[in-house]
Amino acid sequence: MAKQKTVNVSVQYKELDTIKDELLVVGVFETDTMPRDLSALDKKTGGNIKRVYDLKDFSGKAKESVLIYNADAKSASRVLLAGLGKRDDFELDTIRAAAASAIRKADNIKAASVAICMDVPKGTCPEAKAQVIAEGLVFGRYQYTEQLSSPSGKDGILKASIIAWNKNDLTAMRKGAKVGILQAEGQNYSRSLANKSGGEINPVTLAAEARKLARKFGMKCKIFDDKELVKQGMGGILAVGQGSVSKPRLIMLEYNGKKATKTPDLVLVGKAVTFDSGGLCIKPGAGMHDMKFDKSGGCNVLGIMQAVASLKLAKNVVALVPAAENMPDGNSYRPGDIIKTYSGKTVEIQNTDAEGRMILCDALSYAVKNLKPKAIVDMATLTGACIIALGTHKAGLFANNDDIVTALKTASAAAGEPVWHLPCDKPYRDQLKSECADMRNIGGRDGGSATAAAFLREFVGEDVPWAHIDIAGVSDIKTSNDTMAAGGTGFIVRTIVEYLKNC
């Protein structure tokens, strides 16, 4: 089987014309003529860099790039100029994406070592700069190769050096790069779980993965098996899981970064429907294979826990991952069934394909009742309606509290993972009225994401600040793009880690 693609990131101070890697990537802003900083390097290439500018083949527009071959044996054999767009439009995400795209090019041409040097506007924090470049390198390098006999591109380790322009920046950049590596490794861990099929990852094997993670990073781990779920009265998780031969689980991990208190700064809840066939309200065949990604919320929560533990954040975080497989079977839950949830509230099932909310509601009310956290954030591939509303560009953000919306939006901007705030107040709750139970599990086609969020809100109440992030549109990509390989994206992992640093 193929070796895993990994990257070994370091930060170094070097003059561009002395770099000897197989590929040198230079990120430059848009200019009409060659930037002066490149003249020494240009001489090594026999004037080819200047020629590219003079011929107007490249000017540094965003996402534009040109590969220049270098005959000089004492410096890098290839130079990739990567456009960063207009200097005035700069955001940290520009160089994060440029680094990701650069390492994917390096992989393509099978370069064993790459040096990356990015221009940034004056005053940019060197630590933040190195952090985002390292993130781009690590998530850009990731590919799900586990089931391939021979993947394309370069196998195994790729060496990447982030080049400091200024020697005085080295310490700060090394610190930032370390943070970036750990955050993106958390993201990649989430992707590596999400990419596995429903045949491999079911509630039981996912729980085993979580236990392994907890052991590796010294976190507490408690798994509620089906018997324990019955004892606890977690009717929602049990109902969704009852049609599958793999019994449902509730996974709980605890990271205690504060000595003085046990109160969680944050409880994370992630939907892990290890495969969503729709249940008796079965989905059409076309596209059903993508429902292996219906566990992405839970995988993200595990990825965040890995990042938090490896960064040794001084925060307390508890993870709750309800895991079930939604399958059609003689024993499946049915439309018309009335389910008693952990909260005591009853739910009339009108569609067995609206299963995510049925497992999340038990975990959410468990968090409120037993953990008394300062805040709760859940993440879930919850509704197709969210993809209709926001496409595949942004995640939906819903909340019972404005401060948590502000904090998450700030974190999302820093992480380069866009979210969009949508409502979940009373009119949406009213759509969920039932004649025979406290509520029903669907609210009709209109505002499908908002009614799903209003359903969850019912189980959290108004006292604990809570946010729900619908990642249905962003959790996986069908084909590889500039910055990422096809499959799970781990979208929202970096945002939550940023949020935790600042909360």
Residue numbers annotated as active site: 283, 357
In the complex, minimum distance from the CB of residue 24 to Mn ion, in angstroms, rounded to a whole number:
48
* Residue number, 49 or 339, with CB nearest to Mn ion: 339
How far apart, in whole angstroms, are the C-alpha atoms of residue 26 and residue 76?
Answer: 12
Q: What own/partner pairs with CB < 8 Å and gap ≥ 24 does 243-246 have? A: 243/279, 243/280, 243/325, 243/326, 243/327, 243/328, 243/329, 243/331, 243/332, 243/333, 244/202, 244/203, 244/324, 244/325, 244/326, 244/327, 244/329, 246/202, 246/203, 246/204, 246/274, 246/325
| CB of 251 or CB of 359, closer to Mn ion | 359
Tell me the three state secondary structure of residue 114. strand
* 3-class secondary-structure state, position 47: coil
Told to check if 276 binds Mn ion by CB under 5 A, we report yes
Is 185 a binding residue for Mn ion by CB under 5 A? The answer is no
In angstroms and rounded to an integer, the radius of gyration of the C-alpha atoms of the chain is 24
| Closer residue to Zn ion, CB minimum distance, 96 or 295 | 295
Tokens of 83: 């456009």
Give 101's contacts (C-beta < 8 A, 6+ positions apart). 63, 65, 82, 136, 140, 482, 483
Query: Which of left, alpha, beta for 322 (phi over 0: left; psi -120 to 50: alpha)?
Result: beta
CA distances from 442 to 184, 238, 430, 452 (A): 36, 18, 11, 7
Q: How far is the CB of 105 from ligand BES (least distance, A)?
A: 30
Dihedral, CA of residue 126, residue 128, residue 134 and residue 138, to nearest 10: 180
Instruction: Using CB positions, name the residue nearest to ligand BES.
Output: 384
DSSP state of 296: H
Question: From the CB of 474, what's the least distance to Mn ion, in Å?
Answer: 17
According to the binding rule CB under 5 A, does residue 127 interact with Mn ion? no
Give the residue with the Cβ less far from Zn ion, 97 or 273. Answer: 273
Q: Considering the complex, what minimum distance in angstroms separates the CB of residue 471 from ligand BES?
A: 9
Q: Which of 136, 203, 303, 356 binds Zn ion (CB under 5 A)?
A: 356
Q: Using CB atoms, what's the residue nearest to Zn ion?
A: 276
Contacts of 3 (CB under 8 A, 6+ apart): 145, 155, 156
Q: Of 110-118, 356-364, 412-420, 477-485, which part binds Zn ion (CB under 5 A)? A: 356-364
Q: Please state the closest distance from residue 480 (CB atom) to ligand BES, in A.
A: 19
Q: Compare residues 291 and 408 and give the one whose CB is closer to Mn ion.
A: 291
- Please identify, using beta-carbon distances, which residue of 46 and 328 lies nearer to Mn ion: 328
Per DSSP, 37 falls in state: G
Site size toward Zn ion (CB under 5 A) is 4
375 binds, among Zn ion, Mn ion, ligand BES, none (CB under 5 to 8 A by kind): none
- Return the HEC string of 363-411: HHHHHHHHHCCCCEEEEECCCHHHHHHHCCCCEEEEECCHHHHHHHHHH
* Contact residues: ligand BES, CB under 6 A: 276, 294, 351, 353-356, 381, 383-385, 442, 448, 472
If one asks whether residue 470 binds Zn ion (CB under 5 A), the answer comes out as no
| Residues in contact with 198: Cβ distance below 8 Å, sequence separation at least 6, in sequence order | 274, 275, 291, 292, 325
Q: Which does 179 bind (CB under 5 to 8 A by kind): Zn ion, ligand BES, Mn ion, none?
A: none
294 is a contact residue toward Zn ion (CB under 5 A): yes
Angle between helical axes of 126-141 and 92-108 (0-180°, round to 10)? 40
Smallest gap from Cβ 438 to Zn ion, in A, equals 22
Decide: is 276 part of the binding site for Zn ion (CB under 5 A). yes
| Interface with Mn ion: number of residues (CB under 5 A) | 3
The 345-374 site mask, x for binding Mn ion (CB under 5 A), equals --------x-x-------------------
140 near Zn ion, rule: CB under 5 A = no
The nearest distance, CB 296 to Zn ion, in angstroms, is 10
What does 383 bind: ligand BES, Zn ion, Mn ion, none (CB cut-off 5 to 8 Å by kind)?
ligand BES
Residue 192 CA, chain-centre distance (Å), reads 11
**What separation in angstroms does the CA of 369 have from each of 231, 252, 321, 372, 395?**
16, 15, 16, 6, 28
Closer to ligand BES by CB, 131 or 383: give it.
Answer: 383
Contact set for Mn ion, span 7-66 (CB under 5 A):
none
Closer to Mn ion by CB, 127 or 355: give it: 355
CB of 150 to ligand BES, least distance (A): 31
Contacting positions for Mn ion (CB under 5 A) = 276, 353, 355
